[in-house]
Amino acid sequence: MTDIISAIKALDANAQVVVNGEPSNQTEYEANVKYISGADANGSAIYKETQDFTWSQVSAKKAELQTAYDNNEYQRKRADEYPSIADQLDDIYHNGVDGWKTTIKATKDKYPKG
């Protein structure tokens, strides 16, 4: 799952931002996302007068990241189901590479790409 912070950081990894909630439209974005320009003498954040990115830019990047996340669901499911590396090495030792391939193929078949 992707959030606004991830989208902003994908646009600028060095962005300093405070987000309240998870904005779902331009009005919420403008009200709840504050970009930081620095700190005052007491260490408190100084907020910029304007947004570094528009709602259109951030929401488009969020949608792009969500699509990439969704498209890789099979990878997450496979990773959860594959045996540990130690168990895989043990499988190779006892059953050979072909036996190991059979074990791994069962998971790959259960969760095919795309």
Does residue 5 register a pLDDT over 90?
yes
pLDDT in tens, 46-80: 999 999 999 999 999 999 999 999 999 999 999 99
Same domain? 82 vs 58:
no
Same domain? 30 vs 60:
yes
pLDDT for position 54: 97
What average pLDDT score do residues 85-113 get?
96
- Which pTM does this prediction carry? 0.73
What average pLDDT score do residues 81-88 get?
97
pLDDT for position 1: 75
Does residue 103 register a pLDDT over 90?
yes
pLDDT for position 39: 95
Backbone angles phi, psi at 44, to 5 degrees: -80, 145
CA distance 31 to 20: 9
Same domain? 65 vs 41:
yes
Same domain? 64 vs 8:
yes
Same domain? 105 vs 61:
no
Same domain? 10 vs 33:
yes
Number of separate domains in the chain: 2
pLDDT for position 114: 72
Full residue range of the structural domain in which residue 89 is found: 73-110
What b/e readout covers 87-108, taking b as 16+ CB neighbours within 10 angstroms? eeeebeeeeeeeebeeeeeebe
Angle, CA 23 vertex, CA 39 and CA 13 arms, to 5°: 50
Same domain? 18 vs 29:
yes
Same domain? 26 vs 47:
yes
Same domain? 24 vs 62:
yes
- Mean predicted lDDT score pLDDT of the chain: 96
CA distance 6 to 64: 11
